[in-house]
């Protein structure tokens, strides 16, 4: 059976830690490995940081929404903001690309999300904001015998 | 939260981080390291990340920013104490190509030409 969790919080940097720990705690029932859990937390942190500093331009009045669904050993995470949107998604996904070099952004957020999850999808519009969705298998991984 | 301590050995400033390094704490870490570099006028920098239990790309940004600063002054940067997760972040971002990596702080000091203190 599916198990769904919803979170919404102000676009404050101090909520990044809360968001990744909350999703990790929700995922813990799948008994993931420490490495998988660390990767999940990192992916959540990247998506939430993007929503706060890019989506809302660090305006704490913005609201970040997270929906996490556990189904058949997999977690499906949606991080959504109603901010300014991404002008060019393909460009934003390129390693080392950043629109905020003055903030010492590494431009690695999407690259990390892609590598730390099994599937990443980004939808964005300058009128409605950005939806980042990723899936990660945490339980029942197939082991290949060589 | 993030914890930060600094120790100077010769021309090397060693920064030991603990806790979590994300966007929220990145600015604090930057200010601390910049201030320590200015106070002690060190040439090289070691990041000992053994105490970190979380880091994301915001941490990479701070480390890369200080690399540029140290590099401009002709110094080198060495990182040590990397967890599996942090190691992967470094691999993905290519930071291993521009910084030395050592497993311990003592090795990092030797790499930068300083003998470690006996207390380490």
Q: Residue B66 has what pLDDT?
A: 96
Q: Among A19, A92, A108, pick the best mutation site for testing chain B contact (most B Cβ within 10 A).
A: A108
Instruction: Dump pLDDT digits (tens) for A48-70.
Output: 999 999 999 999 999 999 999 99
* Domain ranges within chain B, ordered by starting residue: 2-34+42-111
Q: Which of A16, A20, A39, A46 is catalytic?
A: A46
DSSP of chain B, one letter per residue? -EEEEEEEETTEEEEEEEEEESHHHHHHHHHHHHHHHHHHT-SEEEEEEEEEEEE-HHHHHHHHHHHHHHHHTT--EEEE---HHHHHHHHHHTGGGTSEEESSHHHHHHHTT-PPPTT-
Question: Rounded to a whole number, what is the distance in Å from the CA of B84 to chain A's nearest CA?
Answer: 8
Instruction: Dump pLDDT digits (tens) for B75-89.
Output: 999 999 999 999 999
- CATH class held by domain B2-34+42-111: alpha beta
ipTM: 0.90
A3 is catalytic: no
Instruction: Dump pLDDT digits (tens) for B12-21.
Output: 999 999 999 9
Tell me: domain A3-137, CATH 1.10.10.10, correct?
no
Q: Which residues of B touch A46 (CB under 8 A)?
A: 56-57
Q: How confident is the model at residue A91 (pLDDT cuts 50, 70, 90)?
A: confident
Chain pair A-B, CB pairs under 8 angstroms: 72
């Amino acid at each position: 059976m599916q198990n769904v969790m919803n979170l919404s919080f102000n676009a404050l940097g101090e909520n990044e830690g809360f968001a990744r720990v909350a999703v990790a705690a929700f995922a813990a029932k799948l008994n993931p490995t420490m490495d998988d859990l660390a990767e999940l937390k990192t992916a959540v942190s990247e998506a939430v940081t993007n929503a706060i500093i890019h989506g809302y331009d660090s305006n704490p009045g913005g609201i970040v929404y997270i929906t996490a669904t556990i189904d058949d050993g997999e977690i499906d995470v949606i991080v959504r903001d109603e901010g300014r949107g991404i002008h060019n998604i393909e460009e934003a996904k390129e390693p080392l690309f950043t629109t905020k070099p003055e903030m010492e952004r590494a431009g690695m957020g999407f690259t990390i999300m892609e590598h730390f999850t099994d599937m990443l999808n980004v939808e964005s519009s300058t009128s409605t904001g950005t939806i980042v969705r990723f899936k990660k298998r945490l339980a029942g991984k197939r082991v290949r015998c060589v | 939260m993030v914890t930060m301590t600094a120790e100077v050995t010769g021309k090397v400033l060693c920064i030991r981080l603990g806790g979590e390094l994300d966007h929220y704490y990145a600015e604090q870490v930057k200010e601390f390291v910049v201030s320590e570099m200015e106070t002690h006028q060190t040439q090289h920098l070691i990041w000992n990340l053994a105490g970190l239990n979380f880091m994301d790309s915001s941490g990479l940004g701070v480390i890369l920013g200080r690399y540029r600063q140290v590099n401009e002054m002709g110094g080198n940067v060495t990182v040590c104490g990397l967890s599996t997760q942090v190691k992967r972040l470094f691999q993905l971002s290519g930071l291993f190509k521009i910084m030395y990596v050592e497993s311990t702080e003592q090795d990092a000091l030797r790499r930068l030409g300083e003998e470690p203190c006996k207390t380490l």
